[in-house]
Amino acid sequence: MSRKSFGDVFGGTPAASADAPGRVNLLGEHTDYNDGFVLPTAIPQRTRVQLRPAPGERFSLYAAELDESAEFTLAAPPQDQFARYVYGCLHQLQAQGVRIPALQIHVDSDVPMGVGLSSSAALEVATLRALRTLLQLTGELDDVRIAQLAQRAEIEDAGVNCGIMDQMASSLADDTSMLFLDTRTLERRVLPLPAGSEVLVIDSGMPRTLAGSAYNERRAECEAAAAALGVKALRDVSDVTRVEGLPEPMRRRARHVVTENERVLRAITGIGPAEFGVLMNASHDSLRDDYEVSIPELDRLVGLLRAQPEVHGARLTGAGFGGACVALCRAGEAVAVSQRVLAEYGSRGRLLVPAG
Ligand code: GLA
């Protein structure tokens, strides 16, 4: 069945439309809520939001890829999770003093959902971009502000206690470069991917069931570690030996964050793909052993990827506990590599990037 268009659902044409990409994180995992460094890139898949003012107070939302609709007002948040992301953006913008008319909103997305590629950030950023166009907010809403409001929508309205990486990546990254971001100062740099390489993303097919609860637990452990070390955030620890006196599991959690920040800072010094791959491998090992957010299927997929001669390095990407792995491959080899890896991994797996 083909997806319903704006016209199919609401009739006529939208007054404004915008889109935004998902992201894959190359290095710097679980560092953003520690004020640390991240290195994501956008993926080619995007979410498009089209909207048009409507009479009255009710907002009508339709998500084509889910074939689901929701109705809500700004005073009464919707129940459906997908609608909460959109509602959150409207709500946060309203909290900035912007008057928002009732709207008909059509969403369509090919960003894979639930695999750690930030489909929610793409939805939030696309929604805020469409609102920026419709309400002529170019002066007030630059791309960083959009990311900040999107993060607030995700935390306060959708109930996901995330850092700012995903929204900054969706708002500021493109799929041919990597975005280095200091999540404390929001200082950023757009850098070329390591020479002669391309990004491969494969889904493990394992749902991220524990991701929410474990994510909050890890955050709390990091905050406890920072407090015990007398620093504002683990970003402020640059000498890894300082974590050695901490009790477990704080010692290993902090060691992951400190070494992961070091890896990101090394990765932006213009190193070649081979060394970048070594850093990605070390990141996965640290996420598996010190941060304990991997699962056997992710380890297996990473192992199969690393066994390919064209792969420089591979790791789980996103919060962990399921979802996707990212690998850095020799340019032009990603599809062939994915076919070999998927044949061995089994039918749960699927190629996500490059988009098939
Ligand atoms: C999720 C969160 C991000 C970040 C990653 C882990 O994607 O939304 O803010 O914390 O997990 O690096």
Ligand 1 atom closest to the Cα of residue 32 is 10
Give CA separation, 43 vs 26, 36, 268, in Å.
Answer: 11, 22, 19
Please tell me the total number of residues recorded for the chain in this structure: 356
- From 26, 165, 219, the mutation candidate for ligand 1 (largest count of ligand atoms within 8 A of CB) is 165
**How many CA atoms, within 13 angstroms, populate the side-chain half-sphere of residue 4?**
17
- From 162, 298, 316, 321, the mutation candidate for ligand 1 (largest count of ligand atoms within 8 A of CB) is 162
Contact 166 CB / ligand 1 (< 6 Å): yes
Side chain identity, residue 16: A
Distance CA 136, CA 234 (A): 40
322 Cα–ligand 1 center, Å: 13
Residue appearing with tokens 């620093």: 231
Q: Is the dihedral of CA 309, 311, 315, 318 positive or negative?
A: negative
Burial (CB count within 10 angstroms: exposed 0-12, middle 13-18, buried 19+), residue 40: buried
245 Cα–ligand 1 center, Å: 27
pLDDT in tens, the chain (356 residues): 689 999 999 999 999 999 999 999 999 999 999 999 999 999 999 999 999 999 999 999 999 999 999 999 999 999 999 999 999 999 999 999 999 999 999 999 999 999 999 999 999 999 999 999 999 999 999 999 999 999 999 999 998 899 999 999 999 999 999 999 999 999 999 999 999 999 999 999 999 876 678 999 999 999 999 999 999 999 999 999 999 999 999 999 999 999 999 999 999 999 999 999 999 999 999 999 999 999 999 999 999 999 999 999 999 999 999 999 999 999 999 999 999 999 999 999 999 999 86
pLDDT at 356: 67
Architecture of domain 197-353: 2-Layer Sandwich (3.30)
The residue among 76, 77, 78, 92 whose CA lies nearest residue 153 is 92
Q: Is-cis flag, bond preceding 249, omega within 30? A: yes
pLDDT at 238: 93
| 103-109/59-63 β-pairing | parallel
319 Cα–ligand 1 center, Å: 5
Q: Is-cis flag, bond preceding 354, omega within 30? A: yes
Distance CA 91, CA 261 (A): 34
The residue among 271, 309, 264 whose CA lies nearest residue 195 is 271
Which sequence spans correspond to the domains of the chain? Answer: 6-192, 197-353
CB 263 within 8 A of CB 29: no
Burial (CB count within 10 angstroms: exposed 0-12, middle 13-18, buried 19+), residue 85: buried
| 103-109/350-353 β-pairing | unpaired
CB 352 within 8 A of CB 117: yes
pLDDT at 210: 65
Side chain identity, residue 34: N
pLDDT at 234: 98
Q: Is the dihedral of CA 328, 335, 204, 183 positive or negative?
A: positive
How is residue 310 written in tokens?
């064209």
CB 103 within 8 A of CB 54: yes
Contact 293 CB / ligand 1 (< 6 Å): no
Architecture of domain 6-192: 2-Layer Sandwich (3.30)
State pTM to two decimals.
Answer: 0.97
pLDDT at 181: 98
